[in-house]
Amino acid sequence: MFESLTQQEIFSQPESLKKTLEYLLANRNTVADFFHRYEGRKMIFMGCGSSAMLAKSARAIFGKGSSPSYALTGGEYLIAPERYAYLFEDSVVILLSRSGMTSEILRAVGLIRETSNAVFLSVTMKENNDLLQLCQLNLLMPWAYDRSVCQTRTVSNLYLTLLMLQAFRASDALLEEAATQAVLDCQRFLTDNSKALEKMGARDFNRAIVLSDGILGGIGEEAALAFTEISMLPGAHFGVLDYRHGPIVLHNAATLTLVLVRPSENQYQQDLLEDLRGTGCILVTVGAGATGTDLDLKLENTPEDSAWGLYLIWTAQMLSLSKALADGKNPDQPKGLEAYITLKQ
């Protein structure tokens, strides 16, 4: 019996991801028809908090296509909507939201609908939410709704959905295969690595750094946020090689460092890992494999590594949960956070 909602929701991901995969496959034609109907339009991804970070990865995932892709938070749009008026004409806006009730998103959609011909697709987890009546297409996944304040299974299900939407839109069989394989591998990954990650999370550190880039940059930001919200320690994200350009000055033995190692024929990533080891930090790697780390979670090589973002977020979630429990903190009740934000009228 799990002691916290956060723990329950992290370890329920194999079931929720399989259900989401089945749901998306059943709606393949509907999704593909939607994108084909509006082919050539700009793709704009909007969210707040965790979903805004996923929107950054979505911009890169969809950026492989011929249509321009952008990522925007609901808040930055609301502050100066006139500056973004040009962006939304002839666009498809994909709204990412756990609740579908966040004020920034709802108010942004209202303004965009009044001032442009944009069409909307929502991906949400809360039944009967306010976004459903505003969009041309809604993907609703209540089985992935996190009751805990901190998002865990919601994040992984949103990321899976983004991968599959692009696979359907572009008829990308490699991307679909990689995403499907990650879902099928989720239970094994969580089971095989939970003890080792629990041990790493219980070690003595006071900050966490996550390094990833490219398509995996946005989901890497969310992995860093997991440490901030769940273990209530400072978490930050940077690009892998770019980390040397300033932030590494604060790196020390009290820093837990999680690095997504991508497939590569050159030595650049391994040299960076060597520099990190020299600081005495706690070093955890996931991806293409590394030597000399405190823990290396090697993944099977694939021609499409976008789905490795799922493994990265699972790793960060288990580490941050273990740290919270080791420090005697309640991961379900981070001070000052709410499940979704309601702005003043």
pLDDT per residue of the chain (345 residues) written in tens, 0 to 9: 347 899 999 999 999 999 999 999 999 999 999 999 999 999 999 999 999 999 999 999 998 767 899 999 999 999 999 999 999 999 999 999 999 999 999 999 999 999 999 999 999 999 999 999 999 999 999 999 999 988 999 999 999 999 999 999 999 999 999 999 999 999 999 999 999 999 999 999 999 999 999 999 999 999 999 999 999 999 999 999 999 999 999 999 999 999 999 998 899 999 999 999 999 999 999 999 999 999 999 999 887 899 999 999 999 999 999 999 999 999 887 665 555 545 566
CA dihedral angle for residue 22, residue 45, residue 107, residue 104, rounded to 10 degrees: 90
Contacts of 59-63 spanning 24+ positions with Cβ under 8 A: 59/218, 60/214, 60/215, 60/217, 60/218, 61/162, 61/163, 61/166, 61/215, 61/306, 62/162, 62/166, 62/169
Taking residue 56's Cβ as centre, other Cβ atoms within 10 Å add up to 21
pTM: 0.95
For residue 277, what is the enclosing H or E element? helix 268-277
Could you tell me which of 132, 129, 74, 66 has the C-alpha nearest to residue 107? Answer: 74
| Nearest alpha-carbon partner for 93 in 133, 57, 54, 46 | 46
- Residue 341, pLDDT score: 47
The per-residue pLDDT for 65 is 66
167 three-class SS: helix
pLDDT at 337: 53
Quote the CA–CA distance of 193 and 206 in Å, as a whole number: 22
Query: Residue 301's pLDDT is what?
Result: 83
Radius of gyration over every alpha carbon of the chain, rounded to an integer in angstroms: 19
Q: Please classify residue 229 by burial: count the beta carbons closer than 10 Å to its beta carbon, then call 0-12 exposed, 13-18 middle and 19+ buried.
A: buried
Q: What is the pLDDT of residue 303?
A: 76
The single-letter code of the amino acid at 287 is G
Q: Decide: residue 162, CB within 10 A, 0-12 exposed, 13-18 middle, 19+ buried.
A: buried
The predicted pLDDT at position 1 comes to 38
Taking residue 117's Cβ as centre, other Cβ atoms within 10 Å add up to 11
